[in-house]
Amino acid sequence: MQCVYIAVFCLLALSIQTGAGLRCWSCASSSDRHCGDPFNKTFFHLRDCDSDRSPQTYNRLTTPVCKKLKQLSNEQEVIERTCVWNKETACAPSSVHTSVKDVFCETCAEDGCNSAERFASATLMVLLPTFLWALAAKFL
Ligand SMILES: *[C@@H]1O[C@H](CO)[C@@H](O)[C@H](O)[C@H]1NC(C)=O
């Protein structure tokens, strides 16, 4: 019984920890058309979010997330993939230009998760600890 407790605790600790050392795709279709959809990973490398955390964005209280933004700029689709450090403001309207319209914006917290059309990982992050507790309850 003791070892089940320990195993569940370790798995929970791991599932909470995943924000650390996050790596995201970082590119913009305006400067590289391969950054658009469908995303072709062979042209890019995952970027370690902590390595491009600048003094301005540095804040120990925030955990990086990956972001994918799709905008219409002068009728042209522009896709941007980046690391961001504030999940709450990540998808706030950034532009006052009426020629730029946000079409789609989403954040996620798993390595390379901003490659997809839509993300499913946020759901998994909520369900995983729940699942582990359910599993523990069954064994204890
Ligand atoms: C990505 O690009 C490479 C090189 O052009 C190509 O060989 C590969 O099939 C492409 N992959 C996808 C998923 O489109």
- Pocket probe for ligand 1: among 42, 43, 44, 117, the residue whose CB has the most ligand atoms within 8 Å is 42
- Mean per-residue pLDDT for 110-126? 74
Both tokens of 86, joined, read: 């504030």
Q: Which of the pair, 124 or 67, is modelled with greater confidence?
A: 67
Determine if ligand 1 sits within 6 Å of the CB of residue 41: no
CB 34 less than 6 A from any atom of ligand 1: no
The answer to whether residues 49 and 4 touch, using CB atoms and an 8 Å cutoff, is no
CA distances from 62 to 29, 89, 125 (A): 27, 12, 17
Does 123 have pLDDT greater than 80?
A: no
CATH number at residue 93: 2.10.60.10
> Which stretch of DSSP H or E encloses residue 69?
strand 65-73
What number is the average pLDDT over the span 15-30? 78
- Asked, for residue 128, whether it belongs to a domain, the answer is no
Q: How confident is the model at residue 19 (pLDDT cuts 50, 70, 90)?
A: very low
For ligand 1, whether the C-beta of 40 sits within 6 Å is: yes
What pTM does this model have?
0.69
101, part of any domain: yes
pLDDT of residue 133: 78
Task: Say yes or no: CB of residue 59 within 6 Å of ligand 1.
Answer: no
Average pLDDT of the segment spanning 72-90: 90
Residue 65 belongs to domain spanning:
21-119
Q: Is residue 110 part of a domain?
A: yes
Q: How many structural domains compose the chain?
A: 1
